[in-house]
Amino acid sequence: MKSIFKLSIIIISIIIVIGIIIGIYLYFKPQADISKKRADVVLKASELYNEYSSNENQANTKYLNKIVEVSGPVAELTNNPDSSLTIILRDSSVDFGLNCNILKNNTKGLNKLQKGVIISIRGVCSGYNSIEVALNNCALVK
């Protein structure tokens, strides 16, 4: 009887410790590394922008919170106050496109990108801010 009692205490303690470790891991987990994840959908930057600008609600049902991989020409590069980088993907013939935000840990070498170069970016679609489609946690697709 005594040894079963001891064994159950040990097992319960192990479960509690594992639970605490999982809890701490989740609590401190940083933003996901999107470059390591598979895209839910692949399309051209102009296609994503056109879908959102013509019907925002319909585009949200298709793309909101999904990992999208988009390709298009670099139109603008902006260094933000929090050291993140904004890359706007947009054809030169239009005024607005995709606003892709790259967190400060992933920006190495990216602010040297030339305007007009066509790149592929993977990120989470955050929706439409009424002017451009917003992508976050972006990473360059190599």
Half-sphere exposure of 16 (CA within 13 A, CB side): 6
Stretch that binds other proteins, among 12-20, 67-75, 112-120, 130-138 (CB under 8 A): 130-138
Q: Among residues 7 and 131, whose Cβ is nearest to other proteins?
A: 131
Please say whether the beta carbons of 125 and 134 come within 8 A: yes
Instruction: Check if the beta carbon of residue 51 is closer than 8 Å to that of residue 44.
Output: no
Of 46 and 101, nearer to other proteins (C-beta) is 101
Of 4-12, 20-28, 40-48, 111-119, which part binds other proteins (CB under 8 A)? Answer: 20-28
2 burial (CB, 10 Å; 0-12 / 13-18 / 19+) is exposed
Please identify, using beta-carbon distances, which residue of 97 and 140 lies nearer to other proteins.
97
| CA–CA dist 54, 76 (Å, integer) | 23
Find the binding residues for other proteins in span 55-114 (CB under 8 A).
Answer: 60, 65, 78, 80-82, 84, 86, 88, 95-96, 99, 101, 103
> What single letter denotes the amino acid at residue 2?
K
Binding-site ranges for other proteins (CB under 8 A): 26-32, 60, 65, 78, 80-82, 84, 86, 88, 95-96, 99, 101, 103, 126-132, 134, 136-137
